[in-house]
Amino acid sequence: MATVARPRVHTGPNIPEANIQLPSVETYGQVTDEIRRTLNPTKAWLAGLLLAIAALLIGLGAWMWQVYMGLGVAGYSPPVMWGVYIVTFVFWVGIGHAGTLISAILYLFRAGFRTTIYRCAEAMTVFAIMTAGLFPILHLGRPWKFFWLIPYPNWRLIWPQFKSPLVWDVFAILTYLTVSATFLYRGLLPDFAALRDSERNPLRKKIYGVLSFGWRNSDIEWRHFARAYLFLAAFSTPLVLSVHSTVSFDFAMANTPGWHATLFAPYFVAGAIFSGIGMVFTIIIPIRRWFNLKHYVTLNHLDAAAKLCLFTALIVATAYITEFFIGWYGGSEIEHSFWYNRVFGQWWWAAWIMLTCNTILPLSLFWQKLRRNTTWLFTLSLFINLGMWFERFVIFDPSLSHEFEPWQWTRYAPTYIDWAILLGSFGWFSMWFLLFIKNFPVVAIAEIKEIIPPPLRVAHAVEGIEVTGMHLEFEPETPGERD
């Protein structure tokens, strides 16, 4: 529900506050019309969709070749039996985390700036987990047996081993996918109703009618909706922390140099949120430009999200430093040798891509001008995506190729099959996201109506009526908010 404050006198610059004011959004009708307009397909959107499908088909072709030829075509040879697929799996699971952070955790913290970006971030979460979920299956020699990990009564009389982190992962990822999709759909209910009621095309009206489940915006529905929202956010908050912790246990439970560390759970969670915020920038900056939503997703909102990005980058940097310090200072010859090989030896190039993209470049966000520069934010987000993919590469493959026995030390290089499947995963993710943004509202209609001032018969606030949000006087010189 709306958080409420009396109108107050403007006392100073509002730029650093990153508050929720939307000075160019004045009426409820404007919100419905402008967000509905984003659903009209354009040629650029169609071109993007075709490109995504083409990338997906390349990945699909590579996978079919791998099924036919065997996993050897993906560059696996003992002892390196986990490569690009596990790297990309963890990368996509991590991408999803920012969506839940923005939609659930920031909701509990009443961070108003989330309102305009959370729908995109939530959809990103669902599609990122759908993408991640493919990789354990792609990694199987016999992918048609993937359901053996699910505990159900079967003729084999064999059950999964519940002490295995891989089984925990199955539960964590499936729960995360289901809860994220539920959270997304629940938020869409009132928006489907708004689209149903404003739609003139009978077929689309019917479809939105079915999707809205007959939602009518009544006081009873809103009351229960708000409560369900709170509980789902409360469930999602520990869930998001648990999922990447569980993913980290896949590695930390193994007695492998570089993996066997108690640091892994918080390290993974912070990295996941950091990478997810990077992807949010990659998605939201073009959307606000192409869909003319700059007055919804304002520079203040991007500024606030950039501060969050900087904060998580600092946590990730602390984790890197801790990991390296323990490797150097911990007294284990194996760990020391492994750490040196990772940063200055065989894998130096990957490690320094990671360190540059994830710890050095994000420091630029200490400057407000760069936090409010969308070109820089977008460019930085691409570097973060790259850096976080390499972070997982640096964690997984150097460990497997440099274990305890020197005779086991080897090399690993991804093949064209790996790269094609990686490309296909981006195609799969982009295809679903592009289909989403042209069929469903990318900004939450009902929640925007909550944060703009309600229409009043008497121009000023009257007794018993609260004027929503921090509606400070608008500063015309604030860059980007009127364009």
Partner 1 sequence: MEGIVGVFRELDSTVGAIEAVKKLKAGNIRVYSPAPRHELEHLLHSGPSVVRRYTLIGGLLGATFGYWIPIWISDYWPLVVGGKVVPSWVPYTIISFELMVLIGSLATVLGLFIVSRIPRITMTVGYDERFSDANFGVWVECPPDRQSDVSDALKRHGAVEVRGER
* Binding-site ranges for partner 1 (CB under 8 A): 1-2, 4, 27-29, 32, 151, 157-163, 167-168, 171-172, 174-175, 178-179, 182-183, 186, 190, 193-194, 196-198, 213-228, 231-232, 235-236, 238-239, 242, 246, 446-447, 449-450, 454-458, 462, 464-466
Closest C-alpha among 118, 455, 442 to residue 291 = 442
In the complex with partner 1, the residue whose CB is nearer, 64 or 462, is 462
Question: Would you state the structure tokens that stand for residue 29, as one six-digit string?
Answer: 């009708």
In the complex with partner 1, the residue whose CB is nearer, 81 or 462, is 462
In the complex with partner 1, the residue whose CB is nearer, 220 or 413, is 220
In the complex with partner 1, the residue whose CB is nearer, 104 or 299, is 104
In the complex with partner 1, the residue whose CB is nearer, 137 or 230, is 230
In the complex with partner 1, the residue whose CB is nearer, 56 or 239, is 239
Q: What minimum distance in Å lies between the beta carbon of 125 and partner 1?
A: 14
In the complex with partner 1, the residue whose CB is nearer, 6 or 457, is 457
In the complex with partner 1, the residue whose CB is nearer, 321 or 456, is 456
In the complex with partner 1, the residue whose CB is nearer, 144 or 231, is 231
In the complex with partner 1, the residue whose CB is nearer, 171 or 378, is 171
Question: Would you state the structure tokens that stand for residue 430, as one six-digit string?
Answer: 């982009």
CB atoms within 10 A of CB 388: 25
In angstroms, the CA 247 to CA 264 distance is 9
Phi, psi at 468, each rounded to 5°: -70, 150
Phi, psi at 201, each rounded to 5°: -70, 120
CA distances from 204 to 113, 187, 224, 338, 433 (A): 31, 19, 27, 59, 19
C-beta of residue 428 within 8 angstroms of C-beta of residue 133 = no
Q: At what angle do helices 202-212 and 165-198 cross, to 10 degrees?
A: 130
Closest C-alpha among 263, 272, 251 to residue 396 = 251
In the complex with partner 1, the residue whose CB is nearer, 225 or 412, is 225
**Residue where the block lists tokens 């402008």:** 34
- Pure H helices in 101-152: 106-108, 118-132, 134-138
CB atoms within 10 A of CB 70: 10
In angstroms, the CA 250 to CA 135 distance is 14
Q: What minimum distance in Å lies between the beta carbon of 467 and partner 1?
A: 10
Q: What minimum distance in Å lies between the beta carbon of 217 and partner 1?
A: 5
Question: For residues 200-238, b (16+ Cβ closer than 10 Å) or e, as one string?
Answer: eeeeeeebbbebbeebeeeeeeeeebeeebeebbeebbe
In angstroms, the CA 17 to CA 239 distance is 29
CB atoms within 10 A of CB 403: 18
Q: What minimum distance in Å lies between the beta carbon of 397 and partner 1?
A: 26
In angstroms, the CA 393 to CA 397 distance is 6
Closest C-alpha among 20, 17, 2 to residue 470 = 20
C-beta of residue 398 within 8 angstroms of C-beta of residue 338 = yes
